[in-house]
């Protein structure tokens, strides 16, 4: 009894800061916020959402301000930047203003559903993990809206990466994750790559620094609004990052 009372004391003080980097997401932003509030208010966890908008020309920030009025400025925090400056720096920028001891990162384009956040938190608490990563490649995880070619590229890239890097996590390029705040800070400091391969490097560095990693299968519904991107230049970026990490870690 004493142990459980103590546990609940510790977990009561846990706070989760959700970082949402946005660029032209005026259609998606209200819906993702609504979903986060719906999924987390019922779970009872203490949380805040930090919106980091990189100067979207479509009025994302105006929508964000309205949402702040609706849900309160203790729940919705706006930390815009003037122009597009990249994902890694967006996390650093958001983290500076985060009051939680855990950071959750996710995409604002509705491909990541907040209903998985309570599962991330439960798994983290169960094993006191440093990182919990959502995975599209295991058990009930999956992807909606990908054709054969996209699946083939994705599975092949994943197979090669698993073979060369043995990262101890099945989804390296996903960006739906929970980190202890100090762990995320250290990982960002040790990462050199930019763009979406940054997510892959974060997990590899986590393994290198002996952090514990857990995985939660997630369903990934590819962009409902707007275009999803996977072109030749992304594949080349990925291959370069893979070889770099293969030779240096």
Q: 191 with 201: CB under 8 angstroms?
A: yes
Under 8 Å CB-to-CB from 239, ≥6 apart: which residues? none
| Out of 12, 96, 127, 151, the residue judged to bind other proteins by CB under 8 A | 151
| Out of 23, 45, 146, 196, the residue judged to bind other proteins by CB under 8 A | 146
| Residues 71, 50: Cα–Cα separation, whole Å | 13
| Out of 6, 70, 192, 235, the residue judged to bind other proteins by CB under 8 A | 70
| Residues 172, 158: Cα–Cα separation, whole Å | 8
Question: Closer CB to other proteins, residue 26 or residue 194?
Answer: 26
| Out of 8, 42, 74, 248, the residue judged to bind other proteins by CB under 8 A | 248
Question: Closer CB to other proteins, residue 101 or residue 249?
Answer: 249
| Out of 18, 52, 67, 184, the residue judged to bind other proteins by CB under 8 A | 67
DSSP state of 90: H
Question: Closer CB to other proteins, residue 47 or residue 137?
Answer: 137
156 binds other proteins (CB under 8 A): yes
Per-residue contact track with other proteins, 38 to 57, x per CB under 8 A? --------------------
CA-to-CA separations, 169 to 16, 37, 141, 199, in angstroms, rounded: 22, 29, 13, 12
| Residues 188, 95: Cα–Cα separation, whole Å | 11
* Parallel/antiparallel/unpaired status of strands 15-22 and 219-221: unpaired
206 binds other proteins (CB under 8 A): no
Under 8 Å CB-to-CB from 182, ≥6 apart: which residues? none
Residue numbers of the site for other proteins (CB under 8 A)?
Answer: 26-27, 30-31, 34-35, 63, 66-67, 70, 110, 113, 137, 140-146, 148, 151-152, 155-156, 159, 164-166, 219-221, 224, 245-249
């Amino acid at each position: 009894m004493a142990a459980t009372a103590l546990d609940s004391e510790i977990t009561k003080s846990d706070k989760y800061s959700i970082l949402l980097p946005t660029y032209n997401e005026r259609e998606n932003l209200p819906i993702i916020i609504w979903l986060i509030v719906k999924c987390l208010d019922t779970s009872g966890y203490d949380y805040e959402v930090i919106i980091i908008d990189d100067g979207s020309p479509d009025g994302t920030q105006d929508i964000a301000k309205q949402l702040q009025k609706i849900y309160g400025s203790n729940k919705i925090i706006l930390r815009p930047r003037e122009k597009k400056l990249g994902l890694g720096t967006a996390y650093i920028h958001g983290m500076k203003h985060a009051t939680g001891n855990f950071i959750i990162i996710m995409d604002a384009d509705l491909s990541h559903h907040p209903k998985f956040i309570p599962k991330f938190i439960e798994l983290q608490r169960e094993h006191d993990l440093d990182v919990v990563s959502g995975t599209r490649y295991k058990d009930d995880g999956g992807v909606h809206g990908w054709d054969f070619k996209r699946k083939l590229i994705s599975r092949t890239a994943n197979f090669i990466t698993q073979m060369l890097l043995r990262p101890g996590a099945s989804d390296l390029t996903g960006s739906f994750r929970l980190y202890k705040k100090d762990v995320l800070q250290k990982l960002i400091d040790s990462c050199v790559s930019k763009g979406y391969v940054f997510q892959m490097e974060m997990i590899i560095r986590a393994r290198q620094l002996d952090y514990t990693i857990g995985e939660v299968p997630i369903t990934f519904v590819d962009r409902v609004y707007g275009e999803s991107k996977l072109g030749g230049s992304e594949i080349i970026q990925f291959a370069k990052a893979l070889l770099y990490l293969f030779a240096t870690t």
